[in-house]
Amino acid sequence: MQDVLDDKLALVSLSFAMFGGYRRATPEHIKKLGGKLPKSKAITEGSIKIFPNSALTDFCTIRRGLFRDIGKMAIKALDSRSVFAVPRSELPAVEKLIADAAQEYSDAVAQLDANYDALFEKHVAANQEAEAIIRSLKVERVDAVAKCHFKEHIFQIKPFVREGESKEEGVDAIVRGLGRQLFEEVAMEMVKLEENDAFKRSKVGQKSLRPIKAAMEKLQKFTFLDEAVQGAVDLAANTLAMLPREGYIEGVEFKTLQRLVQVMSDTDELVNAASKVKNGIQVIDVLFPQLTAPQPQPAPVAEAPQPVAVPVLQPVTSVAPPAAPASGPVLRKAPSAKPTMMF
C-alpha cells in the first residue's frame, strides 16, 4: 500500500479568500444611529451589507467551478472540503485547471480594485435609508482587495502513525479511507440522479446516463485503491450495455437502470455489489438476486394408501371334531364271531 501513497497519489490543497461585503453592527454604531437600525434591504438580522453582492459573484463562480472540475478526477481527503487526493496521472491536468483559475481570480481582483469605490457609491445610492450606517462601516478599497487571495499547495501523503500502530497499518487505514470516500462521493451523485424528476416518470432519455458515465470515469482513475473499485466499474458498464443506445429508456430497461441507480446511491450496497461482481457473479444476479435465488422446494406429500382388493371368503360351517374315546377297555373284533375283552 505504501506505493499507492508514494507513486500513485498526491494531495492538492486549495485556499480561497475573498471580501464578503458584510459587516456586523456594533452596539456603538447602533447607539450613534439613535439606538435603532433603519428598515432597509441592506440590513439583515445581525449583519449589514456594505457592498453589493453582485460585484463579488465572480469569485464564488471561479471557486465553485474549480472544485467541481477537480472533483471529477480527485477524492476529497483529510476530512477537508479543500484538500483533494489526485492520481499522479491526472496531476498535470489538475495543475492546468488551478493555473487557469488562478489567472481568472487575479483578473477578478484587478477588476474589483479598479471599480471598488464606484460600486460602493452605487450601493449607497440604492440604500439611502441606511446610508449613515453603511458609510460608518465602510471597508476601504485597499483592505477589501487585500482580503482576496488564492493559494494552492501540492504535497505527498504521509501516514500519521498512532501509538501502538505500525506504519503499515497507518498506510492501510489511509488507503481504505480514500476508497470509502470514493464510493461515498459516487453515491452522493447517484442520489441526485435518483431524485431527478425524469426518474419519477419511469422514462428517461440518454442524457440521464451522463452522471453514471461520469462516475465510471472517476472510478476508473482509482482502481489501484481496491479491487472492488474495478467491480463497481464493471457493474455500471455491464448494466449500461443492456440498455438502448439511443432514444428513450423505459419498460424493463428502465427498471434495470433504476435498480442500478438504487444500488449505486447507497455506499454500503455499492461496495457489496462491486465485490460480488469482482468475484464473478453476473451483474443481473447482483441487481436482482431475488429472481435467481434458489426457490424453496415443497415438502414431499405422502401418497394416500391405495385400496387393495380383498377376496371375499365364503362362510365356513363349523364342524365339531369327533369326541375322543373314553378311557377304558378297547373292543376289538376277534376273528371269531364272539367278542373278546382285552386288558
Q: pLDDT tens for residues 177-200?
A: 899 999 999 999 999 999 988 888
Residue 297 has pLDDT above 80, yes or no: no
CA triplet 179, 185, 191: central angle to 5 degrees? Answer: 135
Determine which of 34-43, 235-244, 292-301 has the lowest per-residue pLDDT on average.
Answer: 292-301
What is the total residue count of the chain? 343
CB 37 within 8 A of CB 133: yes
CB 86 within 8 A of CB 74: yes
Shortest CA distance to 227 belongs to which of 263, 175, 188, 264? 175
Beta strand 43-44 with 22-23 is unpaired
Higher pLDDT, 268 or 338: 268
pLDDT digit string (tens) for 127-142?
998 898 889 889 999 9
Mean pLDDT computed over 310-316: 46
Residue 132 CB partners (closer than 8 Å, separation 6+)? 32, 33
* Average pLDDT value over all residues in the chain: 84
Measure CA 171 to chain center. 24
pLDDT at position 213: 97
pLDDT at position 171: 76
Highest-confidence segment of 104-108, 153-157, 293-297: 104-108
CA–CA gap between residue 112 and residue 90 (Å, rounded): 33
Kindly report the number of other CB atoms within 10 A of residue 259's CB atom. Answer: 15
pLDDT at position 299: 57
Residue 330 has pLDDT above 80, yes or no: no
Kindly report the number of other CB atoms within 10 A of residue 190's CB atom. Answer: 23
pLDDT at position 25: 73
Mean pLDDT computed over 323-333: 45
Helix, strand, coil % in the chain, rounded to nearest 5: 55, 10, 35
Percent of the chain scoring above 70 in pLDDT: 77
**Which long-range contacts link 28-36 to residues 24+ away (Cβ below 8 Å)?**
29/133, 29/136, 29/137, 32/132, 32/136, 33/132, 33/133
Residue 33 has pLDDT above 90, yes or no: no
CB 101 within 8 A of CB 16: no
Mean pLDDT computed over 11-22: 93
pLDDT at position 336: 45
pLDDT at position 329: 44
Higher pLDDT, 338 or 97: 97
- Model confidence, pTM: 0.75
pLDDT digit string (tens) for 217-272?
999 999 999 999 999 999 999 999 999 999 999 999 999 999 999 999 999 999 99
Band (pLDDT 50/70/90 cuts) for residue 338 is very low
DSSP 7: I
